[in-house]
Amino acid sequence: MSTAETAARSSTTGPPRSSISAGQRRRRFGRRSVTRRVPPVVWALLLVPLLVELAWVFWPAFNSFQLSFTKWSGVGVAEPVGLKNYRTLLYDPIFHTAITNNVIWIVAFGGLSVVIGLALAVALNKPRRGVGAYRSGIYLPMVFSLAVTGLFWRVLYQPDGPINAILAAIGIDTGQHQWLADPNTALAAILVAALWRQAGYIMVLYLAGLKGCDPTLEEAAAVDGASWSQRFRYIVFPQLRNVNTVIFAVTVIDSLRTFDIVWAMTRGGPYNSTQLLSTYMYQVGFTQVNLGYGSAIAVVIFLLAIAFIITYLVRATREE
């Protein structure tokens, strides 16, 4: 009989305590969910992972941060140039395009992937004939890497490729539109490919969250006469709070780090109209081998990400 079983048993067969809500219990017994005294072994448990991350992520990041104040081509000595890189960034038209595109991307990719994923999860939640097949079909794109996805979608989007062919077959004549060569449609075209892949993943996360929702609450509300949208807004959605936090973190991280799919499809073209900060940074740092300037762009990406995540998360974790 393991300690876990003993513990589980004592918690469910105890006195009427179990009928009090967790919050009430905590208020009555004070801050006892965390142990005040921290044994040294626990410090070790925390420090080892923390040191690993500091060594492999923050130390190189600091190096890159230093690099952004220099001019360096990967070999020889890095020549310090002060804030020159940042000043150049300020007037760089490609950088401005990249930032605009990034904001559009975060909103469109992030927002739409969550909306579509949630819609699919809600639609496919109830067990029905064929629902497993639908779920698997929609998740399947995730098994390919982003680079491969980008590669093949580029082929799909060719003027005499399957997408134009299918659109023509259902009656929409696009005139063999060149989706990825037209600066007006290129970013949207990449967005479709990225959403195609990401939606299944978000759907699976929401499916997990929905499974944890209590169906009796929803039934009670239905009996009371609440409409479907009311039930969703007031009963189902609040129970998804935990999953939402995870999904928000995942979505922001994925949106800001999008690189492979854009790079594989357009390399940031046509003439820089689909540049994101990450692709521009790669182009500057590795194609043009101007690592100082590339590092400056990377620092901007990092600050943007920090601003986003920290404000939301500090608020979210404070609310708990």
Partner 1 sequence: MNPAELPATTLSRRSLLLGGAALGGSFLLSGCIGGSQTPAASSAPSDTATTLTLQSSLSDPKPKAALDSIVKGYTKYPTTLNTVAIEQFRAQLPTYLTSANPPDVLTWYAGSVARDYASKGLLLDLSDMWTGDGACAKFSAPLKALSSDESGKQIFVPTSYYWWSIFYRKSAFEEWGVQPPTSWDEFMTLLDTLKGKGIAPLTNGTGSTPWMASGWFDYLDLRINGAAFHRDLLAGKHSFDSAEVRKVMDTYATLVPYFDPKGRSYSWQEAATPLVNKKAGMYLIGAFVTQAFPASAVKDVDFFSVPAIDPAIPSAEEAPTDGYFASAKSKNVTGAKDLLSYLASPAQQQAYIEGSGSSNLPTSPDVDSSKFSPLVLKGIKLLQETKEITQFFNRDSSDALQTTADTALTKFLDKPRDVAKILKDWQTAAQQVWNS
Partner 2 sequence: MTTVTLAPATPAVAAGPRKPKRSWVFHAVMAPVTLLWVLPLAFVIMVAVRNFDDIASNGLGTWPKSFTLQAFRTAWVDGQLGGALRNSVVVTVCTVIAVLFLSSLAAFALSRYHIPAGRAILLLMLAGNLLPPQILLIPVAKICELIGIYDTLLALVVVQVGFGMGFFTFVLYGFMRSLPYEMFEAAKIDGAGDLRIYATIVLPLCRPALAALAALESTWVFNDLLWTLTVLRTDAKFPITASLLNLQGGYTTSWNVVAAGALIAAVPTTIVFFAFQRHFVSGLLVGANK
State the residues that interact with partner 1 by CB under 8 A. 22, 26, 30-34, 54, 58-59, 62-63, 66-67, 71-78, 88, 93, 154, 157-160, 176, 178-181, 183, 266-267, 269-272, 283, 286-290, 293, 314, 317-320
Task: Please state, in angstroms and rounded to a whole number, the distance separating the CA atoms of residues 308 and 305.
Answer: 5
Is the Cβ–Cβ distance between 73 and 291 less than 8 Å?
yes
SS3 assignment for 71-123: ECCCCCCCEECCCHHHHHHHHCHHHHHHHHHHHHHHHHHHHHHHHHHHHHHHH
Task: Please state, in angstroms and rounded to a whole number, the distance separating the CA atoms of residues 74 and 11.
Answer: 60
Task: Please state, in angstroms and rounded to a whole number, the distance separating the CA atoms of residues 258 and 109.
Answer: 10
Those residues whose C-beta lies under 8 Å from the C-beta of residue 111, and which sit 6 or more positions away, are none
Of partner 2, partner 1, none, which one does residue 212 interact with (CB within 5 to 8 Å by kind)?
A: partner 2
Of partner 1, partner 2, none, which one does residue 293 interact with (CB within 5 to 8 Å by kind)?
A: partner 1
Task: Please state, in angstroms and rounded to a whole number, the distance separating the CA atoms of residues 209 and 243.
Answer: 6
Of partner 2, partner 1, none, which one does residue 117 interact with (CB within 5 to 8 Å by kind)?
A: none
Residue closer to partner 2 (CB basis): 48 or 188: 48
Residue matched to tokens 């928000």:
248
Q: Interacting stretch for partner 2, rule CB under 8 A, among 93-101, 179-187, 229-237, 305-313? A: 305-313
User: From the CB of 205, what's the least distance to partner 1, in Å?
Assistant: 19
Question: According to the binding rule CB under 8 A, does residue 246 interact with partner 2?
Answer: yes
Q: How large is the C-alpha radius of gyration of the chain?
A: 25
Task: Please state, in angstroms and rounded to a whole number, the distance separating the CA atoms of residues 207 and 118.
Answer: 8
Question: According to the binding rule CB under 8 A, does residue 238 interact with partner 2?
Answer: no
Question: According to the binding rule CB under 8 A, does residue 292 interact with partner 2?
Answer: no
Of partner 2, partner 1, none, which one does residue 107 interact with (CB within 5 to 8 Å by kind)?
A: none
Q: Which of 1, 16, 33, 184 binds partner 2 (CB under 8 A)?
A: 33
Question: According to the binding rule CB under 8 A, does residue 16 interact with partner 2?
Answer: no
64-83 residues in contact with partner 2 (CB under 8 A) are 64, 67, 74
Of partner 1, partner 2, none, which one does residue 180 interact with (CB within 5 to 8 Å by kind)?
A: partner 1
